[in-house]
Structure 1
Amino acid sequence: MVKLTPELINQSMQYINPCRERELDLRGYKIPQIENLGATLDQFDTIDLSDNDLRKLDGVPYLPRLKCVLLNNNRILRIGDGLHETVPNLSSIILTGNNLQDLSDLEPLALLPHLETLSLLVNPVSTKPYYREYMAFKFPHLRLLDFRKIKRKDRIEAQEYFRTKSGKDMLKEIAKKSKMNATAAAAEAGAKGGASNSTRLANPEDLQRIRDAIKRANSLQEVERLSRILQSGQLPDNFELQLSKNGMTQQNGNASGGGIEAMDY
């Protein structure tokens, strides 16, 4: 099992794939979780994370260039909220050979505005009753599901089914499970938030503030620490407070810049 570090990212194979897109190959390292993808500096259209040991699709920083993620043969059973904010232009996700169980587990993917290709082959969810009908109904922009085209006829049939009582009951049950999933995820995040080393994902405004702080830094140590945060895409819980204190210190003419150096990363 190998941790996904900035060093591993920088040493991994990078090439132009047959689709003429820039791709990063992180395949087969048995990586347990997604982290430090900020080290890619948003230079890739495709990232291949197949054949690893991922259990959750989350921890992705703001990567507006990213269009395709390959996640074949992991152990993913949960998809984190907020993907539509961190990878807004994602159009293809290949999740063949994972452990996604229920249709409610797919709700975070429905928020991706440009998702056109999705594979859930060899996942328990793909064997659920009315699976394709639900996907055709819930994902209006999806063109290929499990490498089969969703046709206009499929969408019409799906809309007709979900107007029936059984279809409406199915939607209510999925919505209920999805709400339970969101509550459980919030509780988990809250429990982690009690730890002193808890973090959150950086948004575009955070990233720009870090870049600005690097330009204002008064020491090499400051630059290195801020650069590590920028690469990881993960902010310590006390980041806002410490960054604010550092800015106030600099405005007061204190060249030590001690606020940032006191941050606990």
Structure 2
Amino acid sequence: MKLTADLISNSPTYINAIKEFELDLSGSHIALIENLGATRNLYDAINLCNNTVRILGNFPELTRLQSIYIADNRVASIERELATQLPQLHTLVLSNNDIAELVDLEPLREFKKLQHLSLVNNPVAFKPHARLWCIWRLADSLHVLDFERITLAERKEAKKLFETPKGGLSDLAKSILEIESSAANTFVPGEGLGNQSANEVSQQDTMDVDKQQSIAELKARIREEMAQVEAMEEFV
């Protein structure tokens, strides 16, 4: 299904569990992010969970948007201009997607306010040193990764692993950055569009209730982590 202005205007909106004004586009069989200018920059959060999106990008400039929930998709790449399109983003839930290499996360370095990031059940999460790499390489503002608070000890360990004593890149860091982005060869234009059988659509529809429950649990965990992070001075 195309993400049209009509779909946006007819989709549910509400105040979510962490008091964001949210547009709910979950479970809409969306394959491509487009036409979000029709939101008129009204929302704090957009829920794109349980779709078939492959590229996280193609947003207009949305200066109000603070949270994107895009778990359970097929996201394999992140558009390099995303941080300029979404300057206020502080929460990005990318659980259960297809991001494969650590270099595929490089666009997230440009975010100035990103505090909460989930990469749970992406191939990249199983790479050696993945957590420490994200702590060292991504936004300095990051406080919570995969629903676990980042500690000062982890920051020190990450710096020791990926930096030389003089502040340069370690051999390990260089080897990670030399790996070609896997996303460049994974997206086929038009793939997944209009190819679902009636049976597949029906099966996906039966999962919607469970998916919504999972989304609610994700938001509850984010709310708890936000409260804990704000209360603990040793985390930066």
How would you bin the TM-score normalised by the shorter chain?
A: 0.7 to 0.9
**What is the identity, as a one-letter code, of the residue corresponding to 2:133?**
Y
Q: 2:171 aligns with which of 157, 169, 172?
A: 169
Q: Distance in 1 between matches of 2:112 and 2:20?
A: 20
Q: Does 1:120 align with 2:122?
A: no
Alignment correspondent of 1:157 = 157
Q: CA deviation at 1:117?
A: 0.3
Query: Which residues in structure 2 correspond to 1:182-193 (within 5 Å)?
Result: none
1:36-62 deviation per Cα after TM superposition (whole angstroms, max 9, x unaligned)? 000000000000000000011011110
Please say if 1:72 is aligned against 2:71. Answer: yes
Shift of 1:181: 4.3
Within the alignment, does 1:93 sit opposite 2:92 as a pair?
A: yes
Aligned-pair Cα RMSD in Å: 2.2
Q: Structure 1 or 2: larger helix share?
A: 1
For residue 47 of structure 1, what is the aligned residue in structure 2? 46
Counterpart of 2:142 in structure 1 is: 142
For 1:66 and 1:181, the matched residues in 2 are separated by 27
Question: Could you tell me how far 1:176 is from its partner in structure 2?
Answer: 2.7
The answer to whether the Cα contact below 8 Å between 2:25 and 2:48 also exists between their aligned partners in 1 is yes
Tell me the residue number matched to 2:21. Answer: 22
The equivalent residue for 1:218 is none
CA distance in structure 2 between the partners assigned to 1:155 and 1:43 by the alignment: 36
TM superposition shift of 1:162: 1.5
Shift of 1:173: 2.5
Q: Secondary structure at the match of 1:47?
A: strand
Q: Rg larger in 1 or in 2?
A: 1
Q: How many equivalent pairs are there?
A: 183
Where do 5+ consecutive residues of structure 2 fail to align? Answer: 188-236
- Greater than 4 Å deviation, 4+ residue runs: none
Partner of 1:62: 61
| 2:163–2:173 contact (8 Å) kept in structure 1 | no
Separation of aligned partners in 2, 1:35 and 1:174:
32
Q: CA deviation at 1:163?
A: 3.0
Question: CA offsets per residue over residues 228-262 of structure 1, 9 Å max, x none?
Answer: xxxxxxxxxxxxxxxxxxxxxxxxxxxxxxxxxxx
Report what 2:224 is aligned to.
Answer: none
Match of 1:205 in 2: none
3-state DSSP of counterpart to 1:89: coil
Contact 2:62 2:86 in 1 (8 A): yes
SS at structure 2 position matched to 1:153: helix
TM-score (norm 1): 0.65
Structure 1: stretches of 5+ with no match in the other structure? 189-265
Match of 1:242 in 2: none
The residue number in structure 1 matching 2:82 is 83
The share of aligned pairs that are identical, in percent, is 39
1:181/1:123 Cα in 2 relative to 1: closer, same or farther (>3 Å)? Answer: closer
SS in 2 for 1:23: strand
